Amino acid sequence: MTPAEKITAHVAQLTSAGMLRVDLARAAGIDPSMLSKYARGIRNPRPGAVSGMRAVPPTPRIVDQDGMNTTDRILEEWGF
């Protein structure tokens, strides 16, 4: 299995558990746009990105340093 296939499979597992891709990318320490490029096969991930992604546990929300998760931040900033 190629590194990109490993990331795609892991992302699919985590998103099916309810995790947002932006939270997953943030938790892995990569830019969300790079995660998208990896998933679409446009870019090949470096070994550090693969290990960072595989280290993310399946949890529906990742909390920022200020105690907010991505969903709550979007709702607050956009006034939904």
Cα separation, 1 vs 7, whole angstroms: 10
Tell me: pLDDT of 74 over 80: no
Give me the DSSP letters along 5-42. HHHHHHHHHHHHTT--HHHHHHHHTS-HHHHHHHHHTS
Which tops the pLDDT comparison, 66 or 9? 9
Tell me the average pLDDT of the chain. 76
pLDDT in tens, 12-45: 888 887 778 888 888 888 888 888 888 778 888 8
Cα diameter, the chain: 43
The reported pLDDT for the residue numbered 24 is 81
Cα separation, 50 vs 48, whole angstroms: 5
